[in-house]
Homo-oligomer: A and B are copies of this chain.
Amino acid sequence: MASLRRAFVASALSAALSVLAAPVQAQQLRPAVDAWRKVHEREILDEAFALMAIPNVASDTANIRRNVEFLTAAFAKRGVAMRSLRAPTGGSPALFGELKAPGATRTIVMYAHYDGQPVAGGGWNGDPFTPELRRYQNSVATDAVAMPAKGDTIDPAVRIRARSASDDKGPIIAMLAALDALKAAKKAPTVNVKFFLEGEEEAGSEHLGDLLNAHKAVLAADAWLFFDGPIHVSGAPQLVLGVRGVMGVDVTFYGPNRAMHSGHYGNWAPNPGVAVAHFIASVRDMDGRIKIAGFYEDVPPISDGDRALGKALSATDDSLRTSLGLSRTEANNAALGERIMLPALNIRGIRTGEVGGGAANAVPTSASVSIDFRLVPDQQPARICELVTRHLLSLGYTVATDPNAAARSTDRAHLAYLGCGGGYTSVSVASTLPSVRAVKTLMGRAYGREPFVMPMLGGSLPLFHFVEQLGATVITVPTVNADNSQHAPNENLRIGNLWDGIGVMAELMAGLGPLWPGGATPVMK
């Protein structure tokens, strides 16, 4: 496995990462950060435990206030005065603070969120808000591990088990420790650093747009660095340049208004299961190509550079394929890294009648399909909804947006209900932006190895708020382990990843200024 990984990195280096100019080891700050950290591991873990012990579901306003108080005090200790930013429409406050760098020509915002996913449903080995040190084996928490004594170190493979350990309190702890480490190393940030800690990300960021809009001036910056999400599944660092947009679509077709005996009325009364199948077959082929007229009009071609980056990310495709019981994947084993740069139409579910023992010999009354579209830059959710509407019309359906329309319809077999989720657009930045190149260089320094560059995260995050409200350049710098059980029971943070997070944040704050000289704010791709 180790040799495979080396080959992978070498290939990625040669094929895709030639944009890198500065040598990886130059002016590396990491040794100094590590030296400080090695004698302060206990203090860092104590602070992490204290923060993760405070419940942080966004709707729990009393505990949200405790988080705000804790974080305000913790940043104050590092000389950063935090204040609450609120949306005029409500919601949890975001915490904002600023560290000016004398003479700096650039301003960054370091983003994380202090709220977490709900913990209902059980499955935890211990209380979600009573952090523990645990070993993990195949994503399962096993032996408990004792806290290191002051001045001692701990095996970096040990993990902190707690809600929000990785998503996203761990990165906040890394920010605090990075400030300490810089101070200890007598280094100052070379860019103005703003901190923005969101308080309702896991609740859907409902008020975020309003909040950003209300505080545009204080939030002005040359780039936003997002410390959220995991590194590559192989354990390699990765820099994420974009996320796809998403839109949920539900379509329902109708048969008779009561289920009819299939022997007596089948092939006379229209079968909605047949309609839903023909609809799905008409919108997507077996290889993921979307057959809706006009769908690709807004889709820019993948650049050669992005294609090369996607290929570089796909060295683990074969082993993943095998682990999933698949001897082939769609489009003739096309590279996963390339596939997620394309728009996609995923069937989330189909429901009509019953199957197996419960199947009745009947023509069902309706059939529904739930779809999630993944969108790439320039694709607008509203436009997708319009194209699906047109597609249904072209198939001869009347399109209803009221789910109760079928109850009143005298023409059920020609009716299709279409529900379009709000959805949001894709956000991405070009790998050639000076800010991106500088961040990548500094990640390489901090990790001692090149990060993968992921042009597009397959999943979706509502980064569009930052683009829409602030015109921000958003660069995502994940630090936590990929198997962190984010949103799930026994969420955890590998301690080695916390140390890497401290290293990369310190490197970025101290190193961005020289590598990214001031000038006009880079233009969004």
Contact = CB atoms under 8 A, between A and B. Distances in A.
Interface of A: 244, 246, 248, 250, 254, 256-258, 260-271, 273-282, 284-286, 288, 322, 324-331, 334, 336, 339-340, 342, 344-356, 358-364, 367-370, 372, 374, 406, 409-414, 457-460
Contacts of A257: 324-325
B274 A284 contact: yes
Contact of A356 (B254, B354, B370, B460): B370
Contact of A414 (B285, B327, B460): B327
A242 B250 CA distance: 42
List the 4 closest A-B pairs by CB distance, nearest first: A349-B353, A263-B459, A273-B347, A277-B280
Contacts of A356: 250, 368, 370
Contact of A346 (B248, B271, B330, B348): B271
Number of copies: 2
Contact of A353 (B268, B347, B354): B347
A412 B410 CA distance: 43
A404 to B, nearest CB: 13
Q: Which of A322, A324, A353 has the most CB of B within 10 A?
A: A324
Contact of A326 (B250, B270, B358): B270
B273 A349 contact: yes
B459 A256 contact: no
Contacts of A256: 324-326
Nearest to A349: B353
A459 to B, nearest CB: 3
A261 B324 contact: no
Contact of A268 (B244, B339, B367): B339
Contact of A286 (B261, B278, B340, B360): B278
Q: Which of A257, A274, A336, A458 has the most CB of B within 10 A?
A: A274
A273 B364 CA distance: 18
A279 B286 CA distance: 10
A355 B458 CA distance: 22
Given A330-B270, A355-B369, A459-B264, A276 B350 contact: yes
Contacts of A345: 267
A349 B364 contact: yes
Nearest to A333: B268
B262 A288 contact: no
Contacts of A364: 347-349
B458 A326 contact: no
A354 to B, nearest CB: 4
Contact of A354 (B260, B330, B348, B367): B348
Contacts of A409: 325
A310 B48 CA distance: 79
A421 to B, nearest CB: 10
A370 B359 contact: yes
A290 B387 CA distance: 30
B350 A353 contact: yes
B413 A326 contact: yes
A270 B328 CA distance: 8
B411 A347 contact: no
Contact of A352 (B265, B347, B372): B347
Contacts of A268: 329-330, 334, 336, 339-340
Contacts of A254: 325
A215 B306 CA distance: 79
A509 to B, nearest CB: 30
Nearest to A337: B268
A1 to B, nearest CB: 20
9 contacts: A246-B361, A263-B372, A263-B374, A264-B457, A277-B279, A277-B280, A326-B412, A327-B410, A353-B370
A328 B414 contact: yes
Contact of A246 (B263, B342, B349, B411): B263
Contacts of A270: 286, 326, 328-330
A379 B130 CA distance: 67
Contacts of A340: 263-264, 267-268
Contacts of A285: 278
A349 to B, nearest CB: 3
A309 to B, nearest CB: 16
Given A270-B328, A347-B352, A355-B369, 18 more contacts: A246-B263, A250-B359, A257-B324, A257-B325, A258-B324, A262-B344, A263-B372, A266-B372, A267-B339, A267-B342, A268-B336, A271-B346, A273-B349, A278-B285, A328-B414, A329-B413, A350-B350, A350-B353
A359 B370 CA distance: 7
Contacts of A274: 280, 284, 286, 347
A350 B273 contact: yes
Given A350-B367, A359-B248, A266 B344 contact: yes
